[in-house]
Copies of this chain bind each other. A is one copy, B any other.
Amino acid sequence: MEIIATAKEMQRRSEQLRLEGKKIAFVPTMGYLHKGHLTLMHEGKKRGDVLIVSIFVNPTQFGPGEDYERYPRDMKRDLALLKGVGVDICFTPPSQDMYPDGFQTCVEVEQVTKNLCGTSRPGHFRGVTTVVAKLFNIVKPHLAIFGEKDYQQLIAIKQMARDLNMDIEVIGIPTIRESDGLAMSSRNTYLTAKERKEALSLYRSLLKGKELFLQGQRSAAKILTEITGIIKEQKSATIDYVKICDVHTLEDIEEIKGEAIIALAVKIGKTRLLDNIILKEE
């Protein structure tokens, strides 16, 4: 596996690969890899000739007081995992290479980033779309793969790619879960044993919401009451939001017609966790 640490070198390498006619698959990550990431990489291996993975904890998508400094990092373990999957190139730029002095440009997707995490984390999605635009220009992939656990992020990146005519297929992959249902996330490592148990209420509540939907319930308010009820039983849980939204615009829905998504962000102790489930008639 090649390890490349500067944007310039990565860009040259990718340009060379494209000239050789290679199809580049790309999985951007913030490292501290789990099975969710590895599933994205397996998909990338299948779809591309060359698989490039970036590991970069992007400072600009963390707000003041958020967990940028303590975000878990373990480069040695990550590199071993990447080799195991058969990743071809790992791109790990230092922050100064991505944001040199005088940096002053942002990419902003305006509407789909307003609701949900956009409300609780102002500036977060601007940080995400800006760094992903940069990574796309550096890695020059034909396709890029993201997890559906961060559903709003996926939608924002798809929208950015479409609006800015990026010639890149943006692919979402269903959330990978622990055997007990907890959505995989690098931040799960923050949870104490007790919190870890209470965190199961998130997926359990989403399944309950889906069950109600499949039984014919179409009132978002009624489904949300059930979900918040389940989560509020947990001592360590503080709900940031639980919402039912349009799957494309991410605007709130009152009466569900066709498809919808239940998306939630809940703090378990000090750890903010995301999860979601799609509602779709079967």
Contacts and interface: CB of A to CB of B under 8 A. Distances in A.
Interface in A110-138: 110-112, 129-130, 133-134, 137-138
A134 B167 CA distance: 10
Interface stretch (A14-22, A62-70, A80-88): A14-22
Interface stretch (A101-109, A207-215, A259-267, A268-276): A101-109
Interface residues of A, number: 31
A19 B19 CA distance: 6
A21 B19 CA distance: 7
Taken together, the copies of this chain in the complex come to 2
Interface string A130-160: 1001100110100000000000000000011
Contact of A104 (B104, B112, B130, B166): B112
Which of A111, A112, A133 gathers the greatest number of chain B CB atoms within 10 Å?
A133
Nearest to A112: B104
Contacts of A160: 105
A167 B109 contact: no
Interface in A159-179: 159-160, 163-167
Given A18-B18, A19-B19, A21-B19, A105 B165 contact: no
B7 A159 contact: no
A11 interface: yes
Given A18-B18, A19-B19, A19-B21, A134 B164 contact: yes
B163 A105 contact: yes
Nearest to A21: B19
